[in-house]
């Protein structure tokens, strides 16, 4: 009955819209557009999705027909109109600014807020609607997904709470898909959700384990809780400081001793237990994946421990926005050279062009003082590149020395790290504050490059409180 009613509404809208704007289309396209708009009300998801793709394929000429649908009282029709405009914008970037509807409300303290009302809709449509409002990628559905229609009524619901509600409705959960570098929904069987929401972040305890020594000179009795942190992928987290765990209590409310995550290593060293990386580069995390993890460790836990009534603390995140560029022309030419923007100066003091790679030594200062390090994730728009005369770009990797090896995550890229040094050497500067940047797979016959350093125009720190309650332990 629902679809029949929606079909009548759509036909009425079609009469108004077609009369306004079909002049730019050929007679055949006019007929196709009429039929495709009717198919947006089909009971079959595949038919509706196919209609969206075919209308988008008509290109910018169909925009005047689609845009008025954004004012429709039919929420799903309005949503699919937005999907069409978005896809046209992706294929025709010059018109993208006028095609994609404005992203919904967002605050760094709360994250994206979802307002969406759909009745008996398929999950793919709901996820697409959320993606359209927030600017985040739509979470991928399980293969051969055949879920039941759902009804949603989100009114300024925080993004992660909305996603978790959908997962609960459909018996799903989200996990990293390392191949696609994105989150994917998978069937949830016998899953215990232990969650803390923190603005645009959500924290999930994924496991807890006890370790107790029975025959050892050095006792190693500890409880370890592993926590995953997900953030909205529309954001560009600059870094996360090591997590500060403020309180852990047992089932009676008694406070327990806790090892601070990252306490064993240097700040932002990316060591086990720490949640410390700069611009997307962290232990256990591949570029582009909007997540990382840390560990809460309770040493010498009591033998009668059955649950933790509370785990709470703080997480400091820095968000990068905007871009600035420093460009140095003919960077391979001998001699010192530099570039400036605002109060920043990048100075190149040495260049070595060896077989298939270039090693650049440079210093970065802000108002004459050493600036923050230059490390960025390989997926991000920030970083250091060599650009040849044809515009081809070669990303650089920053460190304190050079050694060869495969970069974590593959792709055969070189990590730069202190020669012969231990873990974390690649995050240290030379004594004079200089950094060494390695560019790999540079054609030997080419020697004319400019160096382009792209970095954030602004970095804003935000502190988030998190709290887990009633955590069962093995």
> How confident is the model over 336-365, as pLDDT tens digits?
999 999 889 999 999 998 888 899 999 989
Confidence of residue 329 (pLDDT cuts 50, 70, 90): very high
Mark whether 431 and 345 lie in a shared domain: yes
Mark whether 281 and 300 lie in a shared domain: yes
Q: Residue 121 sits in a domain of what CATH number?
A: 3.55.50
Mark whether 430 and 453 lie in a shared domain: yes
Domain final position from 39, 68, 99: 99
Length of the chain, please?
A: 474
Domain final position from 71, 99, 127: 99
Q: The domain containing residue 61 runs over which residues?
A: 2-99
Angstrom distances, CA of residue 228 to CA of 45, 174, 423, 469: 33, 11, 23, 16
pTM of this structure: 0.69
Question: What span, in angstroms and rounded, lies between the C-alpha atoms of 87 and 102?
Answer: 14
Confidence of residue 262 (pLDDT cuts 50, 70, 90): low
Mark whether 447 and 372 lie in a shared domain: yes
Structure tokens at 391: 């515009």
Mark whether 7 and 119 lie in a shared domain: no
> How confident is the model over 82-111, as pLDDT tens digits?
777 877 776 776 654 445 545 555 677 888
Question: What span, in angstroms and rounded, lies between the C-alpha atoms of 401 and 426?
Answer: 7
Q: Let me know if residue 282 belongs to a domain.
A: yes
- How many structural domains does the chain have? 4
Domain final position from 69, 84, 99: 99
Mark whether 28 and 43 lie in a shared domain: yes
Q: Let me know if residue 198 belongs to a domain.
A: no
Mark whether 125 and 72 lie in a shared domain: no
Contacts of 97 (CB under 8 A, 6+ apart): none
Nearest Cα residue to 13 out of 39, 38, 36, 50: 38
Confidence of residue 11 (pLDDT cuts 50, 70, 90): very low
- For tokens 């495969």, name the residue: 406
> How confident is the model over 12-42, as pLDDT tens digits?
444 344 443 444 677 777 778 778 878 887 7
pLDDT recorded at residue 8? 33
Q: Let me know if residue 471 belongs to a domain.
A: no
Indicate whether 368 pLDDT > 50: yes
Beta carbons of 350 and 338 less than 8 angstroms apart: no
Mark whether 405 and 302 lie in a shared domain: no
> How confident is the model over 270-280, as pLDDT tens digits?
222 333 333 33
Mean pLDDT over 279-288 rounds to 39
Beta carbons of 89 and 95 less than 8 angstroms apart: yes
**108-112, 130-134, 281-285: least confidently modelled range:** 281-285
Mark whether 344 and 417 lie in a shared domain: yes
Mark whether 258 and 331 lie in a shared domain: no
Mean pLDDT over 355-384 rounds to 79
CA 320 to chain centre: 12
Q: Let me know if residue 415 belongs to a domain.
A: yes
Q: Let me know if residue 381 belongs to a domain.
A: yes
Q: Let me know if residue 465 belongs to a domain.
A: no
Q: Let me know if residue 39 belongs to a domain.
A: yes
Mark whether 82 and 124 lie in a shared domain: no
Q: Let me know if residue 468 belongs to a domain.
A: no
Instruction: Work out whether strand 393-399 and strand 383-387 pair parallel, antiparallel, or are unpaired.
Output: antiparallel
Instruction: Work out whether strand 344-354 and strand 291-299 pair parallel, antiparallel, or are unpaired.
Output: unpaired
Share of the chain above pLDDT 90, in %: 34
Mark whether 291 and 337 lie in a shared domain: no
Confidence of residue 466 (pLDDT cuts 50, 70, 90): very high
pLDDT recorded at residue 92? 73
């Amino acid at each position: 009955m629902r679809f029949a009613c929606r079909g009548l509404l759509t036909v009425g809208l079609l009469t108004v819209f077609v009369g306004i704007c079909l002049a730019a289309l050929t007679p055949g396209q006019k007929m196709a557009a009429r039929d495709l708009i009717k198919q947006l009300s089909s009971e079959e998801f595949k038919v509706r999705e196919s209609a969206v793709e075919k209308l988008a394929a008509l290109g910018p000429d169909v925009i005047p027909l689609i845009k008025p649908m954004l004012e429709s009282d039919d929420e799903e029709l309005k949503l699919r109109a937005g999907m069409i405009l978005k896809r046209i914008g992706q294929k025709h970037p010059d018109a993208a600014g006028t095609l994609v509807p404005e992203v919904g409300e967002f605050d760094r303290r709360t994250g994206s807020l979802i307002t969406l009302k759909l009745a008996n809709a398929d999950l793919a449509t709901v996820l697409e609607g959320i993606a359209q409002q927030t600017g985040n990628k739509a979470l991928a559905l399980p293969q051969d997904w055949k879920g039941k229609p759902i009804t949603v009524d989100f009114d300024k619901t925080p993004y992660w709470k909305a996603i978790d509600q959908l997962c609960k409705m459909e018996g799903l959960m989200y996990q990293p898909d390392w191949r696609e570098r994105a989150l994917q929904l998978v069937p949830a069987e016998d899953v215990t959700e232990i969650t803390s929401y923190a603005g645009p972040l959500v924290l999930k305890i994924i496991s807890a384990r006890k370790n107790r020594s029975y025959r050892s000179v050095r006792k190693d009795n500890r409880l370890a809780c592993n926590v995953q942190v997900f953030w909205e992928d529309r954001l560009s987290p600059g870094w996360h400081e090591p997590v500060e765990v403020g309180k852990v209590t047992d089932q009676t409310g008694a406070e327990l001793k806790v090892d601070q995550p990252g306490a064993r290593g240097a700040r932002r060293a990316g060591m086990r237990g720490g949640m410390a990386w700069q611009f997307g580069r962290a232990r256990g995390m591949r570029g582009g994946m909007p997540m990382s993890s840390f560990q809460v460790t309770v040493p010498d836990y009591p033998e009668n421990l059955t649950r933790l009534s509370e785990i709470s603390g703080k997480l400091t995140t820095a968000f990068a926005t905007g871009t600035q560029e420093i460009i140095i022309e003919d960077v391979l030419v001998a001699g010192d050279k530099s570039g400036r923007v605002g109060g920043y100066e990048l100075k190149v003091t040495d260049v070595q062009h060896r077989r298939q790679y270039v090693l650049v030594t440079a210093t970065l200062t802000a108002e004459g003082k050493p600036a923050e390090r230059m490390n960025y994730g390989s997926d991000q728009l920030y970083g250091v590149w060599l650009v040849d005369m044809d515009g081809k770009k070669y990303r650089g990797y920053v460190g304190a020395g050079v050694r060869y090896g495969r970069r974590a995550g593959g792709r055969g890229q070189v990590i730069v790290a202190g020669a012969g040094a231990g873990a974390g050497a690649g995050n240290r500067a030379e004594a004079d504050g200089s950094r060494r940047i390695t560019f790999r797979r540079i054609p030997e016959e080419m020697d004319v490059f400019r160096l382009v350093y792209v970095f954030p125009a602004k970095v804003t720190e935000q502190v988030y409180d998190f709290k887990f309650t009633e955590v069962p332990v093995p």
